Every structure is written in C-alpha cells, then in structure tokens.
Structure 1
Amino acid sequence: MNRRRLTLVGVALAALVATAGLAAAAPSENAQQSGPEAGQQGPPGELPGPAPEFVSDIHDLVSDFLNGALDGSLGGSLSDLADDFSGA
C-alpha cells in the first residue's frame, strides 16, 4: 500500500513539474510580436502618466495609521481627504 502511494505521489509530482516547465518555456507575448520591438522584455512603450498627488496623500495616511502616528481613525481621515479633494 505504501509503495503504491509513493508511486502515485511521484507520478503526480513529475506531472506537476513537467507542466510547470512547459509553462515556463512558453514564449512571452513580446517574443511573439513582429517588428522592431519583437523579443524585447519590459513594459510597453506608452506608460500612463504619474498618479495624482492625492494618491500620495492616501499612502501617507495609511503609513501613518500603520505606524501609529495617525490621530483618529483611518476612515475619518480618508473621508476628510476625499472631501478636500472633491472641494478643490
């Protein structure tokens, strides 16, 4: 019984490793393109613009909350920030 289980586990692991290997060996989308950009790795040429400043303010509020430096609740502070943004 133990030999059968070990064999089954071994076959399952071999199938899993083979499947993962095939997925890793598949060419990327960039490699399938034609033209001067074919085969290049990295982000596409047209990236979105920078995030608005209020996004940085939200990150700062969350960081302050996690560090314990925020007075009051995170929800209230985010609500106040949203009110400031919508009123601008």
Structure 2
Amino acid sequence: MKLHTIVGVALAVLVATAGVAAATPGANAQDSNSDDAAKQGPPSELPDPVPEFVSSIHDAVSDFLDGALDGSLGDAVNDVTGSSQSPPTSADR
C-alpha cells in the first residue's frame, strides 16, 4: 500500500473514533431530575446593549467590503469613534 493510503485510512479511523467518543455521554452526565439540571439554561440577565457607534462601525465595514467606501476603512472607523489617532502604516508594524 502507498504511504498516502495508509495515512488516509489512519486519519479516517481517528476521525471516526473521535466522533463516537464525542457523541457518547460521559460518566458525569447529569440526571434530568437533579437540582443541577434546573440551574442550566441561559442567564437570567442580559448583557448591556452595545454603544450606538458599533452599528456605525459595522456599516462602515459593510461599505468597505461592498466597495462603496471612499478612502480607507481605518479613516472611516476613526471618524465614527472620534479617534484622533491615524491608522498604523506598514512602517509602524
């Protein structure tokens, strides 16, 4: 057999066994009637809303990706955030 075939078969076996192991519940799986099961789920408190300028940054990125943005993306983000710093150049990196 060729080396490529042996490596391919070995990787296929590894992927198959990892998938079975991931799908098998562990010994620490919780019983649905336990008190801990009642504590599971999403948090009761939601995070604070993001600042308004985050939507503007997303709009600037979308415009950049669509080609509708005149100028650089860094300048557009600086305009939105009010940052006075200029974006780094290749010499700064």
TM-score after normalising by structure 2: 0.58
Structure 2 CA distance for partners of 1:15 and 1:78, relative to 1, 3 Å: closer
Which amino acid counterpart does residue 48 of structure 1 have in structure 2?
P
Partners of 1:22 and 1:5 in 2: CA distance: 26
* CA displacement at 1:57 relative to structure 2: 0.5
Structure 2 CA distance for partners of 1:77 and 1:11, relative to 1, 3 Å: closer
Partner of 1:66: 65
Partners of 2:3 and 2:67 in 1: CA distance: 56
Identity percentage of aligned residues? 42
| 2:36 aligns with one of 34, 37, 44 | 34
Aligned length: 77
Q: Which has the higher mean CA deviation after the structures are superposed, 46-55 or 8-17?
A: 8-17
Which amino acid counterpart does residue 39 of structure 2 have in structure 1?
E
Greater share of residues in helix: 1
Partner of 2:9: 10
User: What RMSD, in angstroms, separates the aligned Cα atoms of the two structures?
Assistant: 3.1
Unmatched tracts of structure 2, length 5 or more? 84-93
1:36-77 superposed Cα distances (whole Å, 9 cap, x missing partner): 234x5xx43333122111100000011111112212211111
TM-score after normalising by structure 1: 0.61
Which amino acid counterpart does residue 80 of structure 2 have in structure 1?
L
Q: Which has the higher mean CA deviation after the structures are superposed, 52-61 or 6-15?
A: 6-15
* CA displacement at 1:4 relative to structure 2: 8.7
